[in-house]
Amino acid sequence: MSCTDTLMKRRLARIATNILNPFLLSLIILVLLAMESTTSTDEAVKWSLIGLALSVFPVFAVVIYLVSKKKLDGIFIHPRQQRHRIYILAICCAVLGYIVLVVLNAPELLVATFAAGLATVIVFMAINLFWKISLHTAFITGSVTVLIIVYGGMAAWTVLLVPLVAWARIEMKLHTPAQVFTGALLASAIVTIVFGIYEYIW
């Protein structure tokens, strides 16, 4: 393979991993589910903003701050040892978000999503103590699983995004095949179990 082909593959992998990142995926999923579970635009906007304020926004802000202070190597690229504080923050946000949504009587679909997110982050933080599992692959697979559960066959095409992200993370030498496969498998399993508990599956 020529140097040009290698550079092109690396560039495509970087574009895929930057676009299909955990923060953007979380934002899209929360907005879509808020729209799906409410009857008016105002309600959808309200629950979208509440959900994002309790999850995506604070974590993203802290990551940006830590990167600016050179305490993280990058927004989406950092060693396993640097991830632990982000996991702890994400867990705190997920717990707070879940409680707030329950207290405010939020749409159950959003409550189930926060519960699935919390369960996933707890499991992944435990794994991160000894192994760097792929969050990018986990988020895209978890998102695809949610979309298929909620929208059925209409969302089946999103499955194609999973191998794209998995390939990108491996191509950039940020994860091994085992790390992306495990991340995808665990995320899909956790989402399926939690949504099953909330009776969205059976």
Q: Give residue 53's pLDDT.
A: 96
Range of the domain at 33: 9-197
Query: Within a domain: residue 84?
Result: yes
Instruction: Kindly write down the DSSP assignment for every residue of 134-167, as one continuous string.
Output: -HHHHHHHHHHHHHHHHHGGGGGGGGGHHHHHHH
Query: Within a domain: residue 137?
Result: yes
Query: Within a domain: residue 100?
Result: yes
Domain count, the chain: 1
Q: Give residue 121's pLDDT.
A: 94
Nearest-angstrom CA–CA distance, 140 and 4: 29
Nearest-angstrom CA–CA distance, 114 and 23: 14
Block mean pLDDT (10 aa), the chain, length 202:
77 92 95 95 96 95 88 73 86 96 96 96 93 93 97 95 96 93 97 94 70
Query: Within a domain: residue 52?
Result: yes
Q: Give residue 78's pLDDT.
A: 66
CB neighbourhood size of 26 (10 A)? 22
Pinpoint the alpha helices (H) of 54-83. 56-68
Nearest-angstrom CA–CA distance, 99 and 103: 6
Query: Within a domain: residue 188?
Result: yes
Query: Within a domain: residue 169?
Result: yes
Q: Give residue 81's pLDDT.
A: 77
Q: Tokens at residue 102, please?
A: 């329950």
Query: Within a domain: residue 1?
Result: no
Q: Helix 22-36 crosses helix 41-53 at what angle (to 10 degrees)?
A: 150
Nearest-angstrom CA–CA distance, 123 and 107: 25
